[in-house]
């Protein structure tokens, strides 16, 4: 019942929260793995020096301790560490760096209402994940230097580069994974040509955990749905009869499901049952006496898929090809020095 109450509150606030769904990887940041890092040795790469354009561009970053000015390269290092495992291919890391830089520049031109005085923040539920140095030491341990250098290299190699559309930085949202096709921005009210749906190479064989399952007891299902849709008819009888047709959108994700005579959107169900994406099926398992969501992918599905980028990189694509694929119609541009 607690979940149902929480969910009712969420429904009321849905219109307010919708912009948050457009954060880069809401519910979809790729978890850090622990494989070996390949990359340049710290001593060798340290000679390359800082990224000059990024070093001269100062962002106002809203942190837990208040607003703080920091250079773009410092912001990017910690955001990149927060958003993509350091063991991902270097070309995927470069693509991620460009996406993060584009996103920061986009909001530098139009601050979010959640932090009107700052360009960007360190919260993954608002802007992008950001991990401070102390936490990175804890996370990476003895591999700290090697991993930090690999990320810094990706930032240096893309120094000042961002994606532009109509000569302005783009809203380069991204997500962890999509099973075959990314989501179109217009599904979430973002009619932007560079957020159109494109193919993505992930399969259950190439991305572990791409498919997930969520089982919900009929009691919990009933409480959650009635909490948000009190007119739904979910009384007694066979729970299988509670479910009506499922409507899919053009990318195969759930547009809506008829439940107890009410149309419930895929987005609502995702929030209600903490599903990893709106790419799911829903059925009643009579033997197990539970509703079963079979979910593919992780995240809102728009823009670049991080796992897809990594697979493209492993297949030989460089970061410019990855970005051109996931953000069609954009132009890879370079920031002017010391704006």
Q: Show the binding pattern over residues 126-165: x = contacts Zn ion (CB under 5 A), - = does not.
A: xx--------------------------------------
Angle at which helices 319-326 and 90-108 pack, to 10 degrees? 50
Pairing of strands 211-216, 290-296: antiparallel
| 244 membership: H or E segment, kind and range | strand 243-248
| Tokens read off for 72 | 């773009």
| 101 membership: H or E segment, kind and range | helix 90-108
Residue 121 or 254: the one with the smaller Cβ distance to Zn ion is: 121
Residue 77 or 121: the one with the smaller Cβ distance to Zn ion is: 121
User: Which residues have C-beta within 8 Å of that of residue 109, sequence separation ≥ 6?
Assistant: 168, 169
Q: Quick check: 100 binds Zn ion (CB under 5 A)? A: no
Measured CA to CA, the distance from residue 81 to residue 271 in angstroms comes to 26
Residue 171 or 210: the one with the smaller Cβ distance to Zn ion is: 171
Residue 19 or 218: the one with the smaller Cβ distance to Zn ion is: 19
Measured CA to CA, the distance from residue 239 to residue 327 in angstroms comes to 42
Residue 330 three-state SS: coil
Residue 70 or 331: the one with the smaller Cβ distance to Zn ion is: 70
Residue 72 or 254: the one with the smaller Cβ distance to Zn ion is: 72
> Measured from the CB of residue 270, what is the shortest distance to Zn ion in angstroms?
21
* DSSP bridge pairs for 174: 304
| Residue 126 contacts residue 114 (beta carbons within 8 Å) | yes
| Residue 199 contacts residue 274 (beta carbons within 8 Å) | no
Residue 272 three-state SS: helix
Residue 23 or 187: the one with the smaller Cβ distance to Zn ion is: 23
Measured CA to CA, the distance from residue 300 to residue 40 in angstroms comes to 34
| Residue 105 contacts residue 162 (beta carbons within 8 Å) | yes
Q: Show the binding pattern over residues 112-131: x = contacts Zn ion (CB under 5 A), - = does not.
A: ---------x----xx----
Please choose, from the candidates 175, 121, 159, 196, the residue with its C-alpha nearest in 3D space to the C-alpha of residue 332. 159
Residue 23 or 197: the one with the smaller Cβ distance to Zn ion is: 23
Residue 329 C-beta-side C-alpha neighbours within 13 Å: 13
> Measured from the CB of residue 77, what is the shortest distance to Zn ion in angstroms?
18
Total residues in contact with Zn ion, by rule CB under 5 A: 3
DSSP E strand boundaries for 52-149:
58-63, 66-71, 120-121
| Residue 26 contacts residue 125 (beta carbons within 8 Å) | yes
Residue 121 or 224: the one with the smaller Cβ distance to Zn ion is: 121
Where do contacts with Zn ion occur on this chain (CB under 5 A)?
A: 121, 126-127
């Amino acid at each position: 019942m607690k979940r149902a109450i929480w969910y009712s509150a969420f429904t009321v606030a849905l219109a307010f929260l919708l912009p948050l769904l457009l954060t880069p990887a809401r519910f979809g940041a790729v978890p850090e793995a622990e494989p070996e890092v390949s990359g340049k040795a710290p001593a060798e790469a340290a000679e390359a020096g800082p990224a000059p354009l990024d070093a001269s561009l100062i962002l106002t970053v809203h942190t837990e301790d208040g607003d703080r000015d920091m250079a773009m390269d410092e912001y990017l290092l910690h955001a990149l560490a927060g958003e993509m495992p350091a063991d991902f291919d270097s070309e995927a890391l470069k693509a991620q760096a460009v996406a993060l830089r584009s996103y920061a520049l986009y909001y530098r031109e139009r601050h979010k209402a959640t932090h009107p005085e700052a360009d960007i923040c360190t919260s993954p539920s608002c802007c992008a994940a950001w991990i401070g140095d102390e936490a990175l030491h804890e996370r990476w341990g003895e591999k700290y230097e090697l991993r930090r250098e690999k990320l810094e290299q990706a930032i240096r190699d893309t120094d000042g580069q961002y994606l532009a559309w109509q000569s302005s930085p783009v809203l380069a949202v991204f997500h962890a994974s999509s099973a075959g096709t990314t989501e179109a921005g217009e599904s979430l009210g973002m009619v932007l040509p560079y957020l159109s749906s494109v193919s993505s190479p992930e399969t259950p064989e190439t991305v572990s955990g791409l498919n997930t399952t969520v089982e919900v007891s009929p009691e919990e299902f009933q409480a959650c749905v009635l909490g948000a849709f009190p007119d739904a008819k979910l009384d007694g009888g066979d729970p299988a009869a509670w479910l009506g047709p499922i409507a899919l959108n053009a990318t195969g994700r759930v547009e809506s499901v008829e439940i107890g005579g009410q149309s419930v959107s895929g987005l609502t169900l995702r929030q209600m049952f903490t599903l990893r994406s709106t790419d799911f099926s829903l059925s009643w398992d009579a033997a197990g006496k539970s509703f079963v969501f079979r979910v593919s992918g992780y995240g809102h599905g728009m823009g670049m898929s991080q796992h897809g980028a990594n697979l493209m990189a492993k297949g030989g694509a460089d970061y410019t090809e990855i970005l051109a694929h996931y953000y069609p119609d954009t132009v890879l541009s370079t920031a002017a020095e010391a704006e």
